Chains A and B, each alone.
Chain A
Amino acid sequence: MRRLAAALLGLWIGAAQAGPDAVTLDYRLAARALADGVYVVEGANADFSRANGCNIINTGFLVGSEGVLVVNTGPSRLYGEQLRALIGRTTPKPVKAVLHLNLHPDYFLGNQAFADVPRYATAATLEGMRAEATAYEDNLYRMCGDWMKGTTALLPDRVLPPGATVELAGRRLALRELKGHTASDLVLSDEASGAVFAGGLVFADRVPTTPHARVDDWLTSLDAMAGLSVRTLVPSHGPVARGRAGIDQTRRYLRWLDGSLAQGAQRGLEVTELLAQPVPPEFRGWAAFDTEYVRNVLHLYPGHEARSLQPR
């Protein structure tokens, strides 16, 4: 018994040491190799908070013959700097380019550390970042305080042509521009390894975020991903896994949510009543359920409601 307790304590200390250090503002980022030259840097599967320094995203980098391609730069200047340092410790090759998979704050607020390299996004993503950047800064400062010190939005400076197979930093990548989580959701497939960075379209074991969502488009995009060859799936939020379970999870949740909201509107429910409706246990157990589900309802219910109040 005592040995078990000691073992558990050891685990707990180990876990605590691995987490971010709010005193030194060290995210303690770690690169995990998914395949030869393909690395993921995993964030907490949670909601933004001071405890996790607003690091809830999975970023990554791919090492090619010419250098390194960075996929998303994290929530803050500090994150960007620590990510760049981590890349430097992992490979001697230079950072060649940055790629942003959508417009959300933790995809690009680390950009100040990558001011000297080309930063790519789709036209719609760039447009959206420009419109939202100030609000993102304000909001993340409010939620994560010191972790955000010195962070100002540095936008991408290159527009990516959509739907192409491109070679960046010496790696061949298939890029698909889909939509639904935002107006432009990029899915990156690395040809050599079969690793897929699914961006905001896939949430694993976590309730999806929906501030810019159109559920019908999102479901169509998930269907379009059916033809994708996936060896390892990197969702933006939640654990990395083999295969396409994350795609199916996200689809299940969105279908349920959409149906529940449509039915609520037809029954004349108020938002407050809708929030009190039962939720399937599978979804209740996912990370950030308590906060994100409320956001989902507030973002998406008004559309259903407006339709239900039109003359029939």
Chain B
Amino acid sequence: MFPLVPTLSRRRFLLVGGSLAATPLLAAEDATGGDPFGSLQWPGLRREFFGTAPVRFDERVQVKGPGFAVDPMTVPITVSADGLADVEQILVIVDRNPIRKVLEFEPLAGAKASVSFRFKLEQASPVRAAARTKDGVWHVGGTLVDSSGGGCTVPGATRADGSWSRTLGQVSGRVFDALEVPAGARVRVRVMHPMDTGLAPGIPAFYLKRLTLADAGGTELLRLATYEPISENPVFSFDFVRKPAGPLLVSGSDNNGNKVEGRL
């Protein structure tokens, strides 16, 4: 019991104090590097994904998901860093997944710093979003998701029944205007793709890599880089300050060079 108290208070201090770099001595004593989730993976993740860039845990980066993964193939997550100004990129990583990077999101013209998606979770893990602001600082938030396991290493439903090849690359979606969502507008896009991780026996990695959204004038509204853990037939939601001028153009490609194109 005795060591628990100082550990807790140190973590709280780090959360309030923000910068890890400012407290190297205390962080060094804590094998999790001051991680609010107490994950021993955190120091390694931090090195791998952020290098020497400044990193702080920040409650303005909100990650919402279910407490447990009812279906580890489809864990719904909403990331919102709307409380931060000048977010240039959002990176989503999962500590205990065999493939830890889930997506990178760049909000451009009129797009808010928020994105929703579903992903495959291999075992219980923190799910983290890191938002990089203009000043180069990574602001990290997260949530803990429990899981029965096996999300990344079993084939998806359309892979198992072979139906993926009939729908590959099909795009559907809709713009929901201010009447339907709380404020501004929301674009929801679904792209049919098996999103094979390469970790299910005998099935090579086959996944959507890139997706962009442009308005009627050709202005890019957002860029998304997607990785193996994104769920089969992914659905994404993006929020906008105001309704973008349609028709919107969705374009992208997968790791085999197949093109994705659709109009909303």
Chain A residues within 8 Å of B, Cβ to Cβ: 139, 142-143, 266-273, 275, 291, 294-295, 298-299, 302, 305-306, 308-312
Contact = CB atoms under 8 A, between A and B. Distances in A.
Interface stretch (B53-61, B74-82, B210-218): B74-82
B176 A267 contact: yes
A267 B174 CA distance: 11
Given A142-B148, A294-B70, A295-B70, A305 B235 contact: yes
Contacts of B173: 309
B65 interface: yes
Nearest to A268: B176
B101 interface: no
Contacts of A299: 70-71
Nearest to A142: B148
Contacts of B66: 272, 275, 294, 298
Contacts of B189: 309
B174 A308 contact: yes
B172 A309 contact: yes
B90 to A, nearest CB: 16
B74 A298 contact: yes
B238 to A, nearest CB: 11
Nearest to B172: A309
21 contacts: A267-B180, A268-B186, A268-B188, A268-B237, A269-B181, A270-B237, A271-B116, A271-B118, A272-B65, A272-B77, A272-B78, A275-B66, A294-B67, A298-B70, A298-B74, A305-B188, A308-B188, A309-B174, A309-B189, A310-B172, A312-B174
Given A139-B148, A294-B70, A272 B188 contact: no
A266 B179 CA distance: 11
Nearest to B181: A268
B10 interface: no
B64 interface: yes
B243 interface: no
Given A142-B148, A298-B66, A305-B235, A268 B180 contact: yes
Interface residues of B, number: 27
Contact of A272 (B116, B180, B186): B116
B239 to A, nearest CB: 10
B68 interface: yes
Nearest to A273: B78
Nearest to B143: A272
B223 interface: no
Interface string B172-215: 11101000110000101110000000000000000000000000
A273 B62 CA distance: 13
Nearest to A308: B174
Nearest to B174: A309
Contact of A267 (B65, B77, B172, B181): B181
Contacts of A268: 174, 176, 180-181, 186, 188, 237
Contacts of A294: 66-68, 70
A299 B73 CA distance: 12
Contacts of A143: 148
Nearest to B179: A267
A298 B76 contact: yes
Contacts of A295: 70
